[in-house]
Amino acid sequence: MTADQTADDDLPALPDASSRTDGVVHAVRGAVVDVAFTGTDLPPVNAALVVDWDRPTDLVLEVHSHLDQQTVRAVAFQSTAGLARGVLVHARGAPVTVPVGAAVLGRLLDVVGNLQDDGPALPDDTPRRSIHALPPLLKSQTSATDVFETGIKVIDLLTPMAQGGKAAMFGGAGVGKTVLVMELIRAMVEKYEGISVFAGVGERSREGHELLTEMQDSGVLARTVLVYGQMNEPPGARWRAPLTALTVSEYFRDQKHKNVLLLMDNVFRFVQAGAEVSSLLGRLPSRVGYQPTLATEVAGLQERIASVSGSAVTAIQAVYVPADDFTDPAVTTISGHMDCVIMLSRAQASEGFYPAIDPLGSSSMLLDPLVVGDDHYHTAEAVRQTLARFRALSDIISLLGVEELGTADRLIVKRARRLQRFLTQPFMVTEAFTGTPGASVPLAETLVGCRAILDGEADEWSESSLYMVGTLEDARAKEAKATATDAEAAA
């Protein structure tokens, strides 16, 4: 008798054939659990299994594959610590379902729809939906051409977002992705009348608590659903948390015909969780150690974010860039699905330019004269050209100094430096840390300010007068105050 046969003989007897929905735990490998069933009717792939163990909370598994005629391999959504072989497992025969609808507004859910905010239980008649769904048919989807104004100057000017589109912010550690997402939430409170759904994928507990407190203080929690798969949870929870948030969004879009703002932080953690699950399942890794199904998993998530006639889902996603490598397979795969790509630059952050958005590396499909108009398009292109020329001259300036440049290039450098500072902006969510009141700037004011700087109106101003202000009028007042102070000091 082999060792494998001896191990199998130690298992308790399987339930009889009359109870084909029950099985027993056959093997546990971290977040991956093998379950043995009797008969030939195995639970289908993506079906939910519930472990009948002695813990206060349910352990939910999701079938991933059929190993043979009696065994399935499943991924756990909660910790499997203490799970023993032979424990009874019930098959629901259907995928994981989560609560949706008005009852979940203002609530915090986990990946399987359990409440995590210590609030009252949901009503018994709360509808539930499967976390697995197909994207809308292509013929029923609508294109996104309406600009989604955010009040953040550099985004509205150079990378306009689409109402019903997908935008992603790519950046390494510590360059301000989460702060930017929180500012976008805050900035859209007054302008946005739809439903907001926030998916915290691999979030730290501190970040989740800060966001919950921020939403309570700003009064938007009543129109928001929070879904969390936290960093300390198993990879299965982080892998499926975005699907739970999508399911809630799709219900409001399809059944209630409401516009939905879907915010995800951080989509890279979704990819990372998929890589962990893939490794536990025994698959051979692909490029840079990622799962071989990377493109399929990302497409399965992103293609469900779609708008249909009468209701739009606008997605804003933060994406961590490992080691600041923008050629990373996960980054390039995610960016291919986006209408608007916002690159956060460590060089910008190191110089104190916040939001640290790279104006030359970022792009938007909506920056087209047919969509935003000739005035906006030409202003944005002039700003890009000025900043690009300044970047091209930066090596010469660092070696020889500005004085060695020609007259035209010196003028470009002067205006580019002022544009860089004008495109910075104080945020409302950082007001408590910086002491500077936050500013939300209408697009029209942003265009007026950029055109004035390009035309030379601010050539004689101090650069600091344009740093961390809202509109050009705020900068003019700051310059006048600085001039008056200097005059008093001279006197």
Cis peptide before 123 (omega within 30 of 0): no
**Three-state secondary-structure class, residue 62:** strand
Which residue among 29, 55, 191, 204 is the active-site one?
A: 204
Closest Cα to residue 419, out of 450, 446, 464? 450
Which residue among 129, 177, 304, 476 is the active-site one?
A: 177
Tokens of 380: 């944005």
Residue 253 to residue 141: CA distance in whole angstroms: 12
Residue 342 to residue 288: CA distance in whole angstroms: 24
3-state secondary structure 301-365: HHCCCCCECCECEEEEEEEECHHHCCCCHHHHHHHCCCCEEEEECHHHHHCCCCCCECCCCCEEC
Chain position carrying tokens 């079938």: 63
Give the list of residues 6+ apart from residue 4 with CB closer than 8 angstroms, or none.
none
Residue 467 to residue 20: CA distance in whole angstroms: 69
Is residue 324 a contact partner of residue 332, using CB atoms and an 8 Å limit? no
Is residue 157 a contact partner of residue 338, using CB atoms and an 8 Å limit? no
Neighbouring C-beta atoms of residue 308, cutoff 10 Å: 17
Task: Answer yes or no: 481 catalytic.
Answer: no
Task: Answer yes or no: 258 catalytic.
Answer: no
Tokens of 170: 């790519």
Task: Answer yes or no: 177 catalytic.
Answer: yes
Residue 168 to residue 315: CA distance in whole angstroms: 8
Give the list of residues 6+ apart from residue 77 with CB closer than 8 angstroms, or none.
59, 60, 61, 62, 96, 111, 112, 234, 236, 237, 240
Cα 170–430–449 angle (5° rounding)? 75
Residue 188 to residue 167: CA distance in whole angstroms: 15
What is the chain's length? 491
Radius of gyration for the chain, computed over Cα atoms and rounded to the nearest angstrom: 27
Closest Cα to residue 360, out of 348, 376, 377, 349? 348
Which residue among 62, 149, 203, 445 is the active-site one?
A: 203
Local structure of residue 200 (DSSP, 8 states)? E
**Three-state secondary-structure class, residue 95:** strand
Chain position carrying tokens 């298992």: 11
Which residue numbers are catalytic?
Answer: 177, 203-204
